[in-house]
């Protein structure tokens, strides 16, 4: 047996002998260092999660002294409720159309800004202004702009002979809500994608230039593939947000007219705070959690696929 | 053998401890720091005074001749709760704004600090519900809307008879009989009249606001074409209202009428307001929501079966849909504030509106219709005129300490007293109209109900009062059912009505759907 293999064997044996002791010591240190975070995590995340599961199995109305065990009643009620399924349907319409449009506009604006030689910072700052507006304030802003009595946009539309009540008509209320979301959150996608574009190395672009690639070809074959992960990250963030989009709906339409803007988030809020039925609200919240996890995993898989 | 210390089991132990500790906190309903409410008394409420009969006047400014005085037992120390801080949660209504602007009167006299928090009603109901559930008393004084709060949480409120019958405390000035009886029943009681939970505080009521200038100017033309006097009065029917609204719309389109844009407007947003607006028509057609008795006055835990499949209810729904077909298109985006703002902007010739908006209508800085508005009871249906009452009382949280409860009682005595109600009426904030008979008997208040008088300019909310006093008569007033399930039922009503207005379902199907879903919720 060569000398070097014997040396390795001895080292391995020594390491094997030492490993259990070192591992245990490391575990204890790791445990004590992680403990504060775990306690905080338990308080703010894990405990509420288990409490939600508990609440979803209880008749938990705020007008009752103590919650009463209800088995799967809350789950049966929501799963057989057409309001529940219709709310999910509207959420899907709102979410998918919102995400697609935000992605298209967000990436387009990011590319335009990437190519702007001067004044990029100024334009970017102006473009990002809606991001700084709280959703409630954004709701109030749009409500006033579209108000049929004194709204500026409503007045402009009337000058063109369009006498539609944007927020008071079943055919226009949902598109209006989607546009409000696009107005407020597209800049976030632009910001993330632009950050990705600016970190793309110049060498591949220069090489493509030498090879005679057109501007569109450079975008199609170099820039977009290289910012793919950024796009997926921005979609991941927005898809989670979009499920919880209730502030603006609450301020503008309150789920109407004729339930046309009642998304699952608004429905949950109504059940929790208007009906004060925390048990059913917990069950609704858990369905949202499941969908969020599925969506999150979907986007993470897309991201990993790109890495492979 | 030494047992290994597993990190996983340690984390589990910590989590279980945390959960147990939190559970213990949340279930400690009667912890030593929280005094329970004094035991409720079933005694009837006295008109005031003490066993010995000796009383002393309260140190609050603002009393005028003709009003019952706020009095306390002889030697009562009004500053005994000095330093106590009270939180009053209220809907953002004119009386609360007026009270907040004048709270110094109470604070200077008692040394009690009152913080008045105002939000929209949904938020008030949510915060109060959470506060009661946690048995916290972050809010000691509660604006207890009879339908959203009182019905669900009456047992979390102190029985005010306890304090009103306590010989060591001030009593309700003028006694409970000075309150308008139907309002005391609707606002103050739940289930029975043994326990008094709140004292009437405000009294908004839906009546018909109309443009006097328009109705005067085109009166003859309408009479010539349609053959009757269109001036709104107790004799106007919903059918005629529809005809008038359509006629005005036609004349506006033809360019004949230029003062308004539409004949009528309604609060028909998918919101509580839509249910309120519809209830006026429902009541006028002799229908109601449930079969239970006294639901509109003292209320009940079980309302019985829904009555919305009755022929009267279906007729009412058909008429309501018809009314909205000719109403201003903005109606489907308006709640009670929206329709009032549209009326103030001069868009509408008439609309069912909560009367307390008249202060805004008569304020030239906020309105284009100042001096042009008149009021009437709402049109009648085949059965009667039904005018929805939307008043509320204020009560005291059972979870407040004994000292806070007594301090809150002093506040209630003052805030609902005739002199405070009179002050609210006269305030610059143009607050609510009083809930007290004695205030309406004052000579200047009587004069204020006449258009053009100085008093009516100083107290603009008095202008609709002739119509409102008519609306408050038992045969005209409409009180919604007071049942604990009302927030859910209310939501079903306005959601299904909204679908009906957009032709997603017929009036018959709408009523059937509401009835079915309501019965599921009430367990009937």
What is the tens place of the pLDDT at every residue in A188-200? Answer: 999 999 999 999 9
Give me the pLDDT at residue A308, please.
58
Note the pLDDT of residue B433: 85
Q: Coil, strand or helix: which one is B104? A: helix
Provide the residue range defining the domain that includes B370: 206-388+464-522
Q: A247 CB contacts (<8 Å, ≥6 apart)?
A: A134, A135, A136, A138, A139
Closest CA–CA distance from residue A7 to any residue of chain B (Å): 34
Query: Residue A107: its pLDDT value, please?
Result: 96
Average pLDDT of chain A, as a whole number: 89
How many domains is chain A built from? Answer: 2
CB–CB contact B18 A276 (8 Å)? no
What is the structure's pLDDT at A117? 84
Share of chain B above pLDDT 90, in %: 82
A277 lies in some domain: yes
Report yes or no on A68 lying in a domain.
Answer: no
Whether the Cβ atoms of residue B439 and residue B421 lie closer than 8 Å to each other: yes
Q: What is the CATH number of the domain that holds B337?
A: 3.40.190.10
In a domain, B329, yes or no: yes
**The pLDDT of residue B524:** 84
Which domain range does residue A33 map to?
3-56
Please name which of B392, B423, B411, B421 lies closest in space to residue B160, comparing C-alpha atoms.
Answer: B411
Q: Is the peptide bond before A257 cis (omega within 30 degrees of 0)?
A: yes
A297 and A222 in a single domain? The answer is yes
pLDDT tens, residue order, chain A (308 aa): 444 444 445 545 555 554 555 555 667 888 889 899 989 988 888 899 999 999 999 999 887 778 899 999 999 999 999 999 999 999 999 999 999 999 999 999 999 999 998 888 999 999 999 999 999 999 999 999 999 988 999 999 989 988 888 999 999 999 999 999 999 999 999 999 999 999 999 999 999 999 999 999 999 999 999 999 999 999 999 999 999 899 999 999 999 999 999 999 999 999 999 999 999 999 999 999 999 999 999 998 988 876 65
pLDDT over 60 at B14, yes or no: no
From residue B416, alpha-carbon distances to A82, B198, B413, B444, B489 in Å are 45, 10, 6, 20, 31
Residue B4 confidence (pLDDT) above 70: no
**Contact residues on chain B for A170, CB-CB shorter than 8 A:** 502, 504
**How far apart are the C-alpha atoms of A101 and A97, rounded to whole Å?**
6
Task: State whether B481 and B424 are in the same domain.
Answer: no
Q: Which residue has the tokens 């079980």?
A: B302
**Which one is predicted more confidently, B62 or B251?**
B251
Both A286 and A211 in one domain: the answer is yes
Residue-level pLDDT at B429: 72
Whether A275 sits inside 8 A of B495 (CB atoms) is: no
pLDDT, one tens digit per residue, over B407-435 is 999 999 999 999 999 999 988 776 678 99
Pair A158, A224 in one domain: yes
Name residue B57's beta-bridge partners.
B71
pLDDT digits (tens, 9 = 90+) for A12-37: 555 555 455 555 566 788 888 989 99
Average pLDDT in chain B? 90
Q: Do A137 and A171 belong together in one domain?
A: yes
Nearest chain A residue to B153, by CA: A63
Say whether A274 and B126 touch across the interface (CB within 8 A): yes
Same domain for A192 and A267, yes or no, is: yes
* Pair B191, B298: CB distance under 8 Å: yes
Confidence of residue B39 (pLDDT cuts 50, 70, 90): very low
On whether both B157 and B226 belong to a single domain, the answer is no
> Each residue of B134-184: pLDDT tens digit?
899 999 999 999 999 999 999 999 999 999 999 999 999 999 999 999 999
pLDDT at A24: 58
Residue A66 included in any domain: no
Chain A residue with the nearest C-alpha to that of B510 = A258
CB nearest to A149's CB, from B14, B347, B488 = B347
- Model pLDDT, residue B95: 87
Vertex A180, ends A179 and A182: CA angle to 5°? 60
> Do B196 and B227 belong to one domain?
no
Please tell me whether residues B337 and B238 are part of one structural domain: yes
CATH number at residue A103: 1.10.3720.10
SS (H, E, C) B312-362: HHHHHHHHHHHHHHHCCHHHHHCCHHHHHHHHHCCCEEEEEEEHHHHHHHC
Quick check: B270 and A43 CB within 8 A? no
> Does position B56 have pLDDT exceeding 80, yes or no?
no
pTM of the model: 0.86
For position A65, what pLDDT does the model report?
Answer: 72
Nearest to B133 among A51, A62, A168 (CB): A62
The last residue of a domain, from among B407, B426, B441: B441
Question: Are B259 and B408 in a shared domain?
Answer: no
pLDDT at A198: 94
Residue A4 is predicted with a pLDDT of 45
Do A17 and A155 fall into the same domain?
Answer: no
Calculate the alpha carbon distances from B118 to A134, B115, B140, B339 in Å: 21, 10, 14, 21
Chain B, nearest residue to A269 by Cα: B126
* Residues B401 and B483 reside in one and the same domain: no
Higher per-residue pLDDT: B241 or A62: B241
**Beta strand B477-478 pairing with B387-388:** parallel
Give me the pLDDT at residue A79, please. 96
Q: Is residue A33 part of a domain?
A: yes
């Amino acid at each position: 047996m060569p000398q070097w293999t014997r040396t390795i064997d001895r080292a391995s044996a020594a390491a094997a002998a030492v490993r259990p002791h070192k591992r245990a010591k490391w575990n204890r240190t790791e445990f004590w260092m992680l403990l504060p975070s775990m306690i905080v995590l338990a308080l703010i995340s894990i405990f509420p999660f288990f409490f939600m599961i508990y609440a979803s199995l209880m008749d938990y109305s705020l007008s009752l002294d103590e919650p009463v065990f209800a088995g799967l009643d809350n789950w049966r009620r929501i799963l057989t409720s057409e309001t529940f399924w219709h709310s999910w349907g509207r959420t899907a319409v709102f979410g998918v159309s919102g995400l697609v449009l935000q992605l298209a506009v967000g990436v387009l604006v990011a590319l335009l800004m990437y190519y702007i030689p001067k004044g990029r910072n100024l334009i970017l700052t102006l473009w990002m202004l809606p991001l700084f507006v709280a959703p409630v304030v954004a709701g109030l802003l749009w409500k006033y702009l579209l108000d049929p009595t004194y709204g500026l946009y409503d007045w402009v539309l009337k000058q063109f002979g369009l006498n539609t009540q944007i927020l008071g008509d079943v055919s226009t209320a949902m598109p209006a809500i989607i546009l409000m979301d696009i107005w407020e959150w597209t800049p976030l996608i632009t910001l993330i994608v632009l950050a990705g574009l600016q970190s793309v190395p110049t060498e591949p672009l220069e090489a493509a230039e030498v090879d005679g690639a057109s501007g569109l070809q450079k975008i199609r074959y170099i820039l977009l593939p290289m910012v793919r992960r950024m796009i997926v990250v921005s979609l991941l963030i927005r898809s989670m947000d979009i499920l919880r989009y209730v502030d603006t709906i609450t301020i503008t339409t309150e789920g109407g007219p004729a339930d046309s803007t009642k998304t699952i988030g608004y429905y949950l809020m109504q059940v929790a705070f208007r009906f004060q039925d925390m048990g059913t609200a917990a069950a609704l919240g858990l369905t949202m959690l499941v969908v969020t996890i599925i969506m999150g995993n979907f986007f993470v898989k897309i991201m990993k696929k790109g890495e492979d | 053998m030494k047992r290994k210390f597993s990190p996983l089991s340690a984390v589990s132990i910590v989590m279980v401890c945390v959960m147990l500790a939190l559970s213990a906190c949340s279930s400690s309903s009667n912890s030593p720091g929280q005094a329970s409410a004094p035991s409720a008394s079933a005694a009837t409420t006295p008109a005031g005074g003490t066993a010995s009969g000796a009383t002393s006047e309260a140190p609050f400014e603002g009393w005028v001749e003709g009003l019952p005085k706020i009095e306390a037992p002889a030697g009562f120390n009004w500053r005994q709760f000095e330093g106590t801080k009270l939180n009053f949660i209220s809907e953002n209504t004119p009386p609360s704004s007026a009270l907040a602007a004048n709270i110094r009167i109470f604070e200077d006299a008692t040394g009690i600090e009152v913080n008045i928090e105002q939000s929209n009603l949904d938020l008030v109901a949510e915060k109060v519900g959470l506060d009661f559930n946690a048995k916290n008393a972050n809010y000691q004084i509660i604006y207890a809307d009879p339908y959203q709060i009182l019905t669900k949480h009456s047992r979390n409120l102190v029985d005010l008879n306890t304090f009103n019958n306590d010989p060591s405390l001030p009593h309700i000035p003028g006694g409970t009989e000075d309150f308008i009886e139907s309002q005391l029943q609707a606002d103050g009681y739940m289930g029975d009249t043994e326990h008094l939970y709140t004292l009437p505080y405000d009294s908004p009521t839906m009546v018909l606001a109309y443009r006097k200038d328009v109705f005067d100017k085109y009166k003859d033309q309408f009479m010539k074409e349609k053959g009757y006097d269109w001036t709104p009065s107790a004799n106007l029917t919903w059918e005629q209202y529809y005809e008038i609204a359509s006629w005005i719309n036609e004349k506006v389109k033809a360019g004949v009428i230029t003062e308004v844009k539409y004949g009528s407007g309604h609060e028909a947003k998918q919101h509580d307001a839509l249910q309120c607006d519809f209830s006026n028509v429902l009541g006028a057609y002799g229908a109601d929501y449930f079969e239970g008795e006294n639901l509109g006055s003292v209320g009940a835990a079980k309302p019985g079966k829904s009555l919305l499949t009755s022929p009267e209810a279906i007729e009412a729904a058909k008429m309501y849909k018809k009314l909205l077909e000719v109403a201003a298109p903005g109606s489907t985006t308006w709640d009670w504030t929206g329709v009032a703002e549209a009326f103030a902007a001069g868009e509408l010739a008439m609309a069912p509106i909560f009367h307390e908006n008249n202060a805004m209508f008569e304020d030239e800085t906020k309105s284009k219709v100042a001096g042009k508005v008149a009021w009437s009871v709402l049109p009648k249906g085949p059965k009667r005129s039904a005018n929805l009452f939307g008043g509320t009382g204020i009560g005291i949280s059972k979870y407040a300490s004994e000292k806070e409860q007594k301090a809150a009682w002093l506040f209630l005595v003052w805030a609902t007293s005739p002199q405070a109600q009179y002050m609210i009426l006269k305030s610059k904030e143009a607050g609510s109209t009083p809930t007290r008979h004695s205030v309406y008997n004052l000579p200047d208040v009587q004069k204020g109900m006449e258009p053009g008088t100085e008093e009516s300019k100083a107290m603009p909310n008095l202008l609709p009062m002739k119509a409102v006093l008519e609306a408050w008569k038992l045969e005209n007033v409409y009180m919604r059912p007071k049942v604990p399930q009302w927030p859910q039922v209310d939501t079903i009503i306005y959601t299904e009505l909204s679908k009906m207005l957009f032709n997603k379902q017929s009036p018959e199907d709408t009523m059937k759907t509401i009835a079915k879903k309501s019965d599921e919720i009430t367990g009937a």
